[in-house]
Amino acid sequence: MVFVKKTYKDQVIDHVYRLLLEGGLNPGDQLKETLLAEQMGISRAPIREAMKELIMIGLVDYRPQVGNFIPVFSPKQIVDSYTARGVLEGYAVMNSCDQFSAEEIDKLENLVGQMESYAEKAKHKMVIETGGEFHDLLISKCDNVQLLEYTDRLSLKLHILFFKYWAKLYSPAEIGSRHREIVESVKVQDLDLIEKVVRQHYVETGSKIAEIED
């Protein structure tokens, strides 16, 4: 097993992400570098590095002469983010679906079952983490580094939005059926169907969240 040592910058990003998931930070809140440094017991240098990356990802807004803030996403920004992820992931899976082994297909199906089970038990965080593992495996065969970089940037933002709203969007059974539809499209290796199913998977969720936020 390979252990990846996380830098202080990565730890700051993880810390902010957890605060957003758990409600310690909310849209409109200011992120103060000095407070984060005190909370984590580190210098401000990695905090500043992390802020640059969080701004690039879209989880932080920088306001000149004011500071860093958690953004308030408009309905259009939500739909745009989900649509972009759907287009990217659909393309990635469509172009690599023939590389999945039977064992990997089985793993995708098992992850879907786990998601549904966690949803039934209202284990929100586990639904998100297992869903992330599912979608990470889906795009793992793609060798387009630029595409993977863009999908990764969108992932944290979408996880936070879905964590907040999924229970209002889908029943546990729907969580399962929506992801099984993706697995079935990969099994039959119908390229047009894969692209359509994956893209619609994201567009539907983005549209539903935008309606709630509107």
* CATH 1.20.120.530, applies to 75-213: yes
Q: What does the pLDDT read at residue 2?
A: 37
30: three-class secondary structure by DSSP: strand
pLDDT band at 125 (very low <50, low <70, confident <90, very high): confident
> Domain limits of the chain?
8-69, 75-213
* Spatial CA neighbour of 167 closest among 105, 129, 118, 207: 118
In Å, how far from its chain's centre is CA 195? Answer: 19
What CATH number does the domain located at 8-69 have? 1.10.10.10
pTM: 0.88
Cβ neighbours of residue 207 closer than 8 Å, sequence gap 6 or more: 79, 82
pLDDT 10s digits, 198-208: 999 999 999 99
Q: What is the amino acid identity at position 194?
A: I
Between residues 3 and 71, the one the model is more confident about: 71
